[in-house]
Amino acid sequence: MPSKALSGVNVNGANGAEVKLNELKARIERAKTARIQAEERKAAAERRLQELEAQIRELGVDPENVEEEIARLDREINEKIARIEELLAPFEEMVGNA
């Protein structure tokens, strides 16, 4: 009597649905791991942001206004550099003429 062939069974005895299900389970586990890692990175970034905001406040600056404060300090530095160059010019002329 001829043996009955089971449709959908491969040589290893696992049918295609089982293989696909196992692949999907593995993908789900990888996605869960990736989500956990992303959440950990997000939590670390949020902690670092809080640390930086605390440091900015210690400097007397509102973190919401940090960009404006940086621009103000940059202008102040450039103004002081220009003033120093202005004050040095007469002395540099004297040294150049000597």
Task: Encode 36-70 in three state secondary structure.
Answer: HHHHHHHHHHHHHHHHHHHHHHHCCCCHHHHHHHH
Q: Give the model's pLDDT for residue 97.
A: 72
Given a cut of 50, whether residue 33 has pLDDT beyond it is: yes
Given a cut of 60, whether residue 5 has pLDDT beyond it is: no
Given a cut of 90, whether residue 12 has pLDDT beyond it is: no
Q: Give the model's pLDDT for residue 80.
A: 98
Given a cut of 70, whether residue 4 has pLDDT beyond it is: no
Find out whether 92 and 86 touch, Cβ atoms under 8 Å.
Answer: no
What are the residue ranges spanned by the domains of the chain?
14-60, 62-98
Q: What is the mean predicted confidence (pLDDT) over 33-47? A: 98
